[in-house]
Structure formats: C-alpha cells, structure tokens
C-alpha cells in the first residue's frame, strides 16, 4: 500500500507542464499585497502617509484608505479575486472570515464591482456566535472589524475562485475587544514606549520605534486520511481517545531528523510553496521525535505579522494535507504514549534600526543595554509567571504541561552557564573577571564581560535564552501565539518601566551610568533570581526545589486560569492599556468554556465509541470463540485454552460495560449551572471515568482479533506514510 501511495501522490504534485514549479524568488509574496506593490501603485503623497501608519504606527487618514482600497481591489481582481473578507482572530484561538462579493448592482440591471475606503476600514460581521465571555449581550450582538494596515492583505485561492483577505481587529460596538490581535498590537505599543524611554538613558543611535519579534516553530502530525475517517475520536476531538501502545513507538529515535518519506516531502514542498506565495518566510523542515510527527519553522518577523503568518501556516498545513490523502493533526497530544506537539515561540525585541536588543554586542555600551533588556525580560517572567501560564492553558495543552512531558508546568528560565556566571557576579556586587574564555573585553570595572552567542541548550526548560532571543516552549501546537506574546510584551514593558525609573534615580545619585546600572541589576536579581534554573526540568527534585523557591506549579488549566484575573495582572494590563479587567474576565470565562466544551465532546465521544463500536466488536469476537468452544465439545477436541481466552475477554468486557455505564451517568450530569461548575465537574468527575474506560478498551484491543477491531491501530496510523 505504501509504495503505491508514494508514487501516486508524487505525481499529483506535478502541474500540467509535468513539472512542480518552485522558483522561490519568483513566487515569494505573489499572493500578498506587499509594501513594494503598494508603494509602486499608490500616488506618492498617499504612500508617504500610509508609510507612516505602517512603519511608525501613526493613525490612518480616511482619504488614504480610499486610495488604498482602489489599489487593493485592482490588485486583487488581477489575481482573480471576486470577493473580499475581513480576516480576524476571534477568542476561539483560530481565525474567522466572512466573504463579501465586490458586486454592486447598477440601475440598468447589470452590475459593477466596487470596494471603498469604508469597506476596507470597517466591516460588520453579524458575529453573535463568537464567544464574548458575557461582554456582548445578544441584543447588540454585532461586532465590527477594522483594518490593521501593519499586516499585509493576501489572497486565498480555491480551484473555483479567489478571495482577498484583509487582516483586521474585532471589537464590540461598545469598543470592548473580542479578539487576540488588538491586545497584541497594544502590548507592542506599551513595549515600544517603555523601551524608547530606556534607550534614551543609554544614548546610542536614534531609533524611531521598538517592536517585539516572533519566530514561531510549529509541530504537527500527519496520518493517512483513510484512517482519520475511520476514527470518530480524531474527527470530533482531534486526538485519539483510544489506542493500545504499538510494539514500536519512538524508542529507537529513528524518526527524529531522519530522511523525510516521499509523500510527506511532496506535501511539505507544496505547502511551503503555498506559504511562499502568501509571503510567509518558512525556512526549516524536519522530522520530529514521534513517528508521524514533523516541524516547520519560519524566519522571524515583527510579532504581529509573524502571528498572522503563524495562523496562515496552520491553515495551509491543514488544507494542503487533503490534496495528498493526508490529514494534519495540530492537537497537542493526538497519541497517548508518544511526544505531543508544541509551538516554540521565539521572542526578542528589535529597534527600527534593526538592532536586536537581546543580542550581546561588541561594545561596552551595547552590553550594558543588553544586560538591561535581558534582565527586564527575566523580571517579566518572574513577576507574571501565572499570567503567562494562564495564557496557554487549554484542555489539549494539559496533556503536555505538568504531565511528564516537555516542558514542565513550572515557569522558569534557562540562561546558560556563561550568563549564569555573570548574574552571580552582578549579585556579588560586580566583578571584572569571567569564568570562560572567548568573551568580549568590556573594559569597565563594574560590569562583567558578556559572552557572545552562548549557544547552550537545555531542552527541559520552558523559557530558554538561546544566544540572542528567548524561546518560550510551553505554547501548545494548536494555540494562538498572539496571547502569550502579548503577555511577554506587556510584562516586559512593565519591567522596563520599573527598571528605567530605578536607573534614573540611581543615575541622579551617582552620575555614572555603569555604576547605576550595576545597582539596578543587583537589586533586580535579588528579587527575581528564583526564576533562574539551569538544571533538569523533568526531575522530581525540581518539583520540590521550585516549591521551596515559591515558584508557581500550575499543572492544569483549572489551576492556571484564576491567574488571568488576579489584582496584579489586571493592574498590569490596565496600566498599559492592553485589556481592561472586564476584558480579562471575559477571556478567562472563554478559556474555561472552551476547556469545558472540549472535554465534554471527548467524554461523549468516548461513551459513544465504546457503546457502538468497541462493545459490539468484542461481543462478535467472543461469540466466535464461544462457538468454537461448543464445536470443540461436540467433536471431543480439547479446547480448554479457548475457554480461558473467552473468560479473559468476557472479564474485561464486563468491566468495560460497568465503566461505560458510570461514564454515561456522569456525562448526563452537568455538575452545575455555571461555567466554572461545569468545568470543575468535567475535570474532577468525568475525566477520571473517561480514563478508566480507555484503559479497559485498550486492553481489549490487545485481545480481540484485528479484523474485528473497528478502529485503525496506532501502528497503522503512525507508520503508514
């Protein structure tokens, strides 16, 4: 079967000319309205004003929007687009689109096409079914979307036509935000403001703005679609709710970085080609640790654009899989007993001059600056561990964090040996020497040397410094990167704010920036050094040690979500105008509701599969064994071992029938009227029953004849490529 599939699907990737075209420089961005195209097509004066909006975040003028709309429609029409859509990120974590045609009927009974500045700037989706966490009573259910000129518009193609997609924010008519893009943009502005303030103290080059950068690595699984359609659990909940451990899993490590199977590679090339055309700079691909698991990573961009591109990447990965007879699984834990999937959020701070503020520099001045921003990020992590953990809380991610898998639920930072040594020296009041060679001479008496490109690796840390950026590894593979990035941005903005004020005070006393900085850093580390941990994050000792240090260990969604609305976090978000307390409460409620709905679907699917597939299959098989038993008796053949087998099957089957009845009972009980009550019922009462049912069903999978078993096995799903 495998060989046939490979040949077949490699052929489908070839176009009419018999050749798969992949001229990257030619196709890159052809389906994305790039800055260059806008510049080329817009009148000079209009372009100048728009540029200020795009590059320097200045407000957009209405006549500019009109001119842009004309160019956009013209460009989109050339690409075959007949419709446009405001493309936004509702609080489900995915993206949403509502398509409108460019058509306007005219008086003569014909039609023209049109698209105005108003159409571009604002849309009114009747979006009453998106979650709003109680922010938007249904009588004013309509929300509005508004253009984000800092993220390029793009074309989504379909065999039968194309649609112009315009990245937008989404809010209620009262102005409450109902999406993930708005807070991300606002947190970027907060970071910009505070970082510019700090940079003034350091002098150096003049910069116009500061932005956070994001490079988001995506892990995913691919399985043959034939198996997918035969697994109701995958279809309803995105993960297998059953499945005995296969004789071969990931123990051999023979898949990781191995050569990529032919059909998979054809798929990857096609998906990458699509992403290039959309202007998404994907760069790296490889096999991941688990069989059937892969990774794709882009070149980093401004975080807002990178977050939109991350959503597009998920869309294209899923869509393209179908063309190759595959299904792309983005769930955090599709297969029990194998590694789950995450999304590594690489994060840094960059200036309008292109300087990476988390890159140790060549000069003493640059290194002081580096130490300042590096320490501010660590302070943000320490101060807002709970909020960061809450921003990535979900039913799916609970299978990774706190469940013996990468990374642990405890938020800590790995900074490598060199920097740890430097932090130690700072805490001891500054030093002139450094432990390792290969360092830059700083030549100042107070601050120690900084290593350049300390490339140490620690795979068990949720937040690792990797030489010139931090890598937040706890984001789930299916989740939006916008919210955790927002928390990093606003948390760091706050830390920079506090540390800049302290630095100003010290500087006024000492009139020596280096000494002032040394004092500020020393005081900061005295507060936050519990967050630094270079050891093994998976060990039991770390659980004990972290508790001693007073670090949070929020193992589940239910543990983490309360932190979204603690006084400290509301204060943080309100102070920097990112989200109001009410908006945070609504997000907390939506996260909880999503959690509850997902678990409920899983629990009901578990019950359904057992009753309608697992039990009937087992009964049929048992019937066959018993029939042999009877015939054995009739012929006088010794069939005592068959009887043992029947007893064994019957024993597990009886237990399963009792267990699924129990699951059915707790499934029909809601546990209360409110969302928190229902979520608690699901996590504390239903989930344990569901797990018991699974163990029994998985035992039966190992006893019942393969041709009777109704669900494709792990072996088939993971190893047929």
Alpha carbon distances (Å) from 337 to 233, 303, 638 = 17, 34, 40
Nearer to ligand ADP, 346 or 519 (CB): 346
SS3 538: coil
Select the span of 48-56, 339-347, 356-364, 692-700 touching Mg ion (CB under 5 A): 339-347
Q: Which of 215, 448, 462, 537 binds ligand ADP (CB under 6 A)?
A: 215
Q: Which of 87, 147, 300, 374 binds ligand ADP (CB under 6 A)?
A: 300
User: Locate tokens 């050749």: which residue?
Assistant: 19
- Alpha-carbon torsion (228, 231, 235, 239), positive or negative: negative
Q: Which of 119, 217, 308, 593 binds ligand ADP (CB under 6 A)?
A: 217
Residues 41-74: b if buried by 16+ CB within 10 A, e if exposed:
bbeeebbebbeebbeebeebeeebbebbbbbbbe
Do the Cβ atoms of 550 and 144 come closer than 8 Å?
no
Chosen from Mg ion, ligand ADP, none, partner binding at 506 (C-beta under 5 to 8 Å by type): none
Q: Which of 466, 486, 500, 699 binds ligand ADP (CB under 6 A)?
A: 466
Number of residues located near ligand ADP, criterion CB under 6 A: 16
Segment 341-360, which members bind Mg ion (CB under 5 A)? 344
Residue 278 makes contact with ligand ADP by CB under 6 A:
no
Closest contact distance (angstroms) between CB of 615 and ligand ADP is 47
Select the span of 246-254, 272-280, 292-300, 532-540 touching ligand ADP (CB under 6 A): 292-300
Q: Which residue is nearest to ligand ADP (CB)?
A: 215
Distance CA 432, CA 409 (A): 37
Alpha carbon distances (Å) from 301 to 280, 350, 357 = 10, 10, 15
Ramachandran sector of residue 511 (left: φ over 0; alpha: ψ -120 to 50; beta: rest): left
Select the span of 26-34, 61-69, 89-97, 346-354 touching ligand ADP (CB under 6 A): 346-354
Residue 29 makes contact with ligand ADP by CB under 6 A:
no
Distance CA 74, CA 169 (A): 23
Select the span of 240-248, 396-404, 464-472, 668-676 touching ligand ADP (CB under 6 A): 464-472
Segment 124-163, which members bind ligand ADP (CB under 6 A)? none
Distance CA 554, CA 688 (A): 19
Closest contact distance (angstroms) between CB of 344 and Mg ion is 5
Distance CA 419, CA 595 (A): 39
SS3 356: strand
Chosen from ligand ADP, Mg ion, none, partner binding at 544 (C-beta under 5 to 8 Å by type): none
Residue 211 makes contact with ligand ADP by CB under 6 A:
no
Nearer to ligand ADP, 215 or 448 (CB): 215
User: Locate tokens 């009419």: which residue?
Assistant: 16
Closest contact distance (angstroms) between CB of 282 and ligand ADP is 9
Nearer to ligand ADP, 163 or 480 (CB): 480
Q: Which of 125, 133, 143, 298 binds ligand ADP (CB under 6 A)?
A: 298
Distance CA 64, CA 120 (A): 11
Distance CA 523, CA 289 (A): 42
Closest contact distance (angstroms) between CB of 358 and ligand ADP is 7
Nearer to Mg ion, 231 or 344 (CB): 344
Closest contact distance (angstroms) between CB of 626 and Mg ion is 56
Residue 299 makes contact with ligand ADP by CB under 6 A:
yes
Do the Cβ atoms of 307 and 184 come closer than 8 Å?
yes
Closest contact distance (angstroms) between CB of 297 and Mg ion is 7
Do the Cβ atoms of 228 and 322 come closer than 8 Å?
no
Residue 257 makes contact with ligand ADP by CB under 6 A:
no
How many Cα atoms sit within 13 Å of 361 on the Cβ side?
16
Distance CA 152, CA 37 (A): 11
Closest contact distance (angstroms) between CB of 468 and Mg ion is 12
Q: Which of 83, 309, 399, 469 binds ligand ADP (CB under 6 A)?
A: 469
Nearer to ligand ADP, 349 or 570 (CB): 349
51 phi/psi in degrees, rounded to 5:
-60, -40
Closest contact distance (angstroms) between CB of 183 and ligand ADP is 19
Select the span of 2-10, 337-345, 349-357, 435-443 touching Mg ion (CB under 5 A): 337-345
Residues 150-168: b if buried by 16+ CB within 10 A, e if exposed:
bbbbbbbbeeeebbbbbbb
Q: Which residues bind ligand ADP (CB under 6 A)?
A: 213-215, 217, 297-300, 346-348, 356, 466, 468-469, 471
Q: Which residues bind Mg ion (CB under 5 A)?
A: 344
């Amino acid at each position: 079967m495998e060989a046939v599939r490979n040949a077949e699907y490699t052929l489908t990737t070839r176009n009419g000319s018999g050749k798969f075209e992949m001229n990257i420089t030619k196709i890159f961005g052809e389906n994305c309205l790039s800055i260059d195209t806008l510049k080329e097509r817009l009148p000079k004066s209009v372009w100048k004003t728009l540029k200020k909006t795009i590059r320097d975040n200045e407000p957009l003028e209405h006549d500019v929007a009109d001119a842009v709309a004309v160019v956009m429609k013209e460009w989109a029409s050339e690409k075959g687009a007949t419709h446009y859509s405001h493309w936004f990120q509702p609080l489900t974590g995915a993206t949403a689109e509502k398509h409108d045609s460019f058509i306007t009927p005219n008086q003569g009974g014909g039609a023209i096409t049109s698209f105005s500045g108003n159409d571009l700037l604002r849309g009114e989706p009747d979006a009453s079914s998106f979650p709003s966490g109680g922010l938007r009573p249904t009588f004013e259910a309509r929300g509005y979307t508004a253009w984000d000129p800092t993220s390029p518009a793009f074309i989504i193609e379909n065999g039968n036509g194309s649609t112009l997609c315009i990245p937008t924010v989404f809010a209620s008519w009262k102005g409450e935000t109902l999406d993930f893009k708005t807070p991300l943009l606002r947190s970027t502005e907060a970071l910009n403001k505070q970082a510019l303030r700090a940079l003034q103290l350091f002098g150096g080059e003049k910069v116009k703005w500061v932005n956070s950068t994001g490079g988001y690595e995506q892990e995913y699984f691919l399985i043959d679609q034939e198996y997918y359609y035969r697994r109701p659990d995958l279809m309803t909940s995105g993960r297998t709710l059953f499945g005995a451990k296969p004789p071969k899993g990931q123990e051999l490590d023979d898949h990781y970085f191995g050569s990529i199977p032919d059909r998979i590679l054809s798929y990857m090339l096609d998906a990458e080609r699509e992403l290039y055309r959309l202007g998404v700079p994907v760069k790296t691909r490889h096999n991941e640790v688990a069989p059937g698991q892969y990774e794709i990573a882009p070149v980093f961009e401004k975080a807002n654009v990178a977050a939109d591109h991350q959503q597009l990447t998920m869309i294209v990965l899923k869509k393209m899989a179908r063309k190759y007879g595959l299904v792309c699984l983005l769930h955090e834990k599709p297969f029990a007993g194998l590694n789950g999937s995450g999304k590594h959020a690489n994060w840094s701070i960059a200036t309008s001059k292109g300087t990476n503020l988390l890159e140790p520099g060549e000069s003493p001045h640059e290194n002081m600056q580096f130490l300042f921003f590096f320490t501010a990020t660590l302070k943000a992590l320490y101060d807002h561990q709970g909020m960061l953990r809450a921003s990535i809380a979900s039913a799916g991610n609970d299978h990774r964090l706190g469940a013996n898998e990468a990374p642990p639920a405890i938020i800590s930072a790995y900074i490598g040996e060199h920097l740890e040594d430097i932090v130690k020296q700072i805490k001891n009041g500054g030093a002139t020497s450094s432990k390792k060679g290969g360092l830059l001479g700083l030549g100042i008496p107070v601050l120690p040397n900084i290593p350049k490109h300390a490339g140490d690796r620690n795979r068990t840390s949720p937040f690792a410094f990797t030489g010139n950026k931090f890598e937040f590894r706890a984001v789930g593979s299916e989740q939006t990167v916008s919210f955790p990035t927002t928390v990093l941005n606003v948390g760091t903005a706050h830390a920079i704010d506090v540390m800049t004020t302290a630095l100003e005070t010290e500087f006024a006393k000492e009139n020596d920036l280096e000494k002032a900085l040394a004092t500020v850093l020393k005081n900061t580390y005295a507060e936050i050094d519990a967050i630094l941990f270079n050891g093994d994050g998976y060990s039991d000792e770390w659980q004990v040690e972290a508790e001693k240090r007073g670090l949070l260990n929020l193992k589940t969604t239910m543990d983490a979500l309360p932190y979204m609305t603690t006084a400290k976090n509301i204060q943080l978000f309100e102070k920097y105008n990112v989200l109001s307390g009410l908006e945070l409460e609504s997000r907390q409620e939506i996260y909880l509701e999503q959690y509850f709905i997902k678990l409920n679907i899983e629990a009901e699917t578990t019950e359904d599969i057992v009753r309608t597939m697992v039990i009937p299959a087992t009964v049929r098989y048992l019937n066959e064994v018993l029939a042999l038993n009877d015939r054995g008796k009739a012929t006088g053949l010794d069939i005592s071992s068959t009887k043992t087998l029947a007893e064994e099957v019957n024993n597990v089957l009886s237990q399963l029938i009792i267990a699924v009845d129990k699951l059915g009972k707790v499934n029909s009980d809601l546990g209360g009227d409110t969302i928190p009550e229902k979520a608690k019922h699901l996590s504390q009462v239903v989930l344990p029953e569901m797990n018991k049912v699974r163990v029994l069903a998985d035992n039966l999978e190992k006893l019942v004849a393969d041709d009777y078993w109704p669900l494709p096995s792990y072996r088939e799903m993971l190893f047929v490529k």
